[in-house]
Amino acid sequence: MNEARAAIRYAKATLDFAVEKKAADKVEKDMRNIAAVISENTELQNVLSSPVVKSEVKKKALNEIFKGSNEITLGLIGTLTGNKRIEMLQEVAYKYIILHEKLKGEDVAFVTSAVPLTADLEKKILAQVTKLTGNKVTIENKVDESIVGGFILRVGDLQYDASVASKLNGLKREFTNSL
- Residue-wise pLDDT for 82-105, tens only, equals 999 999 999 999 999 989 988 887
Distance between CA atoms of residues 108 and 73, nearest Å? 20
**Per-residue pLDDT for 169 more than 90?**
no
pLDDT at position 144, please? Answer: 85
Which pLDDT does position 34 carry in this prediction? 93
Q: Could you give all domains of the chain from N- to C-terminal order, each with its CATH number?
A: 3-100 (1.10.520.20), 106-178 (no CATH)
H or E element at residue 152: strand 151-155
- Residue 115 CB-density burial (10 A; 0-12 exposed, 13-18 middle, 19+ buried): exposed
In this predicted structure, what is the pLDDT of residue 156? 76
Q: Which of 68-82, 83-97, 164-178 has the lowest mean pLDDT?
A: 164-178
pLDDT(138) > 60: yes
So what's the pLDDT on residue 108?
83
Maximum pairwise Cα distance, the chain: 60
* Residue 105 Rama label (left phi>0; alpha psi -120 to 50; beta): left
Q: Is the per-residue pLDDT at 63 higher than 60?
A: yes
**pLDDT over threshold 70, residue 135:** yes
Which residues neighbour 133 within 8 Å (Cβ) at sequence distance 6 or greater?
A: 107, 155, 156
Q: Is residue 11 very low, low, confident or very high in pLDDT (cuts 50, 70, 90)?
A: very high
CA torsion through residues 15, 63, 89, 83, sign? negative
Flag the least confident range among 11-25, 59-73, 108-122: 108-122
